[in-house]
Structure formats: C-alpha cells, structure tokens
Amino acid sequence: MTQYLKHITLEGQRWDQLAWRYYRDVSKIGLLIESNPHAPITPTLPSGMTLQIPVIERAATQTHGAPPWKR
C-alpha cells in the first residue's frame, strides 16, 4: 500500500521543483503527475491545490570509498 504526503501548492510552483524538494530527483516528475490526475500539466501549478506525494524508499547507496561529498 502506497503512503502519501499532502502538499498544498504555492503560487508559481512547478512539477520539477516538487520532484526535487521531495525526492532530490527531477526525473520523478512522472510519478507526481501520475499520482495527481486532477492536477493540470502546465508550466506552473495553481496555488492552493492539494497534491498527493507518494512516499518512496530511498535506494541503499554504496558509500564505502566514496569521497565525502558523495556520502
């Protein structure tokens, strides 16, 4: 069962900003759009719109031997 966070949009917010804010990955835009079929696919979102943000697990990353900025 997928869990969701609730996000209420602010004036001028964009899909890519939300993907970066919640996932640190703009390629997750499709996941956000798919989870919110009621939302317009426009350059900016209207303010006050409630969106569902799917909670996804972060993949375990290999940090052994990686420089400090990649850990």
Task: Give the CA angle between residues 40, 45, 50 to the nearest 5°.
Answer: 85
Mean pLDDT score, 17-43: 97
Q: What pLDDT score does 1 carry?
A: 83
The single-letter code of the amino acid at 50 is: T
Asked if pLDDT for residue 61 goes beyond 70, the answer is no
Q: Tell me the C-alpha to C-alpha distance, in Å, between residue 25 and each of 1, 38, 65.
A: 22, 22, 23
The full set of domain ranges for the chain reads 4-58
Q: Cβ–Cβ contacts within 10 Å for residue 71, how many?
A: 10
Q: Is 45 exposed, middle or buried (0-12, 13-18, 19+ CB in 10 A)?
A: buried
First to last CA, the chain: 30
Per cent of the chain over pLDDT 90 is: 76
Quote the pTM value: 0.77
